Amino acid sequence: GAGVSQSPRYKVAKRGQDVALRCDPISGHVSLFWYQQALGQGPEFLTYFQNEAQLDKSGLPSDRFFAERPEGSVSTLKIQRTQQEDSAVYLCASSSRTQANYGYTFGSGTRLTVV
């Protein structure tokens, strides 16, 4: 597609529920990132894939967070046993370069609300 697509746009989850957030990067983009943006804050890095390899997951806040990109294209961010502090906008970004300092293209995000 022309841009990075994320689904769903909005997700309301009851505390303790598992959720899965999907990211469709721009076709052919090798680098894929997930960021978490809490209300009133800047985005914070969660994890980075180069093709199907997860090269950095240092930003994942707990072992309840898991990301995958099995075929090097679509990625899923899974959050198990959601808690209220997980409420945030989850942004996906992709880049055609492995040296992503040229800048990424961001999706519109998934707004997760845990009640």
Partner 1 sequence: AQSVTQPDIHITVSEGASLELRCNYSYGATPYLFWYVQSPGQGLQLLLKYFSGDTLVQGIKGFEAEFKRSQSSFNLRKPSVHWSDAAEYFCAVGNGGATNKLIFGTGTLLAVQP
Residue 98: strand, helix, or coil = coil
Main-chain phi, psi angles of 84, to 5 degrees: -60, -35
**Single residue of 59, 68, 76, 87 touching partner 1 by CB under 8 A:** 59
**CA angle at 111 for the pair 110 and 112, rounded to the nearest 5°:** 110
| Binding of residue 70 to partner 1 (CB under 8 A) | no
**Single residue of 28, 42, 71, 84 touching partner 1 by CB under 8 A:** 42
Distant-in-sequence, close-in-space partners of 22: CB < 8 Å, separation ≥ 6? 6, 7, 8, 74, 75, 76
Per-residue x/- marks for partner 1, 80-99, CB under 8 A? -----------x-x-x--xx
Report, in Å, the least distance between residue 57 CB and partner 1: 10
Q: How far apart are CA 108 and CA 7, in angstroms?
A: 9
| Binding of residue 107 to partner 1 (CB under 8 A) | yes
| Binding of residue 102 to partner 1 (CB under 8 A) | yes
Binding site for partner 1 (CB under 8 A): 4, 31, 33, 40-45, 48, 55-56, 58-59, 91, 93, 95, 98-109
